[in-house]
Amino acid sequence: MEQKYKPLFESFTFPNGVEVKNRIVMAPMTHSSSNDDGTVTDAELEYYARRSEGAGMVITACIYVSPNGKGFPGEFAGDSDAMIPGLTRLAETIKSKGAKAILQIFHGGRRVPPALVPNGDVVSASAVAATESPDVVPRELKHEEIEAIIRDFGETTRRAAVAGFDGVEIHGANTYLLQQFYSPHSNRRNDQWGGDIDRRLTFPLAVVDEVKRAAAEHAKGPFLVGYRFSPEEPETPGLTMEDTFRLLDELAQKDLDYLHVSLFDFRSKPARGADDSKTRLEWIAERVAGRVPVIGVGSIHSADDAIEAQQTGIPLVAIGRVLLTDPDWVQKVEEGREDEIQSRLSLSSQKKLVIPDGLWHMLTAREGWLSFTD
């Protein structure tokens, strides 16, 4: 490989002792290819097997922890022990290719389609509709329901440990339930779960504590617990970089194994709460200051992009879309064949790329997310 790319291929050891073979992570991406009952399909196993040989760590698509948290058609479930056999096969598939297997766990909150949850009962921190779906007004969760969802995160962590995963990633990003509790846009409560910034932090931090408790109790060896977050929201009121700095400070005290920032473009600049003298990723790396490893992501297509992102001060970089168009991205860079990387999706390549039907339909229908060739 070219000398300048060598930093991407150095091994990395997390604070708890888990070692990955390189600094490249497969980003979590929705694939909508599970069975209707939430169990893992053979098509999903083939999809992950095709993409797990190069990256040091693979973070799966999100898995819902509660029946009313299902956010996508064809999403796999983590809300019952009946899911453990399929999850075991998934963990084994990823690990057999040499990557660490991380299960992303989440609850969609107000962002779930009513048709996907029992009785169409969409819930959130408060009865405030999302900007993206103004016609769906969620029901405000009761105290005992909040505590039950916290326990559900712990139970899904237990199932991940039993299934043999190397860790879990708590999905606190992309305006899903954990972010909904932290955001002043979606949390208008005035009880222990909302109000000022300290109380809005209560739910996400309680989930972190419960997940770490379950991991310590049920994992048979070192087990990673990460947290994904989105740094800003466009709404007013909404999360700003200043709010994110506070969240990072709190998470850094929780002995998490990593933080994973959710960005569409790692070069993007702050809108509010920090000046634009640095990118969001640079501000985050500066604030974390090495207390917790950070995974950066967002429009990393080429090896040069990956190096540029790493040079902001973060040790790990996640790639997503380019692993859809070229599952051999990591191997090509390592072998000095980066000029052979396919960054566009051929409309005749579904079988060759091992992309399940559900995901294929999503990719070909979503304008502007990928570039296509005939």
286 SS3 class = helix
Residues 6+ apart with CB under 8 A from 255: 15, 212
User: In the annotation, is 258 catalytic?
Assistant: no
Give the active site residue among 47, 48, 64, 176: 176
Tell me the DSSP string of 295-340: EE-SS--SHHHHHHHHTTT-SEEEE-HHHHH-TTHHHHHHTT-GGG
Helix (H, G, I), strand (E, B) or coil at 226: strand
Among 298, 295, 364, 358, residue whose Cα is nearest residue 325: 364
Helix (H) or strand (E) holding 62: strand 57-64
Give the phi and the psi of residue 361 in degrees, each rounded to 5.
Answer: -65, -40
DSSP 103: E
Map 116-173 to HEC letters. Answer: HCHHHCCEECCCCCECCECCCCCEECCHHHHHHHHHHHHHHHHHHHHHCCCEEEEEEC
Q: Which residues are catalytic?
A: 176
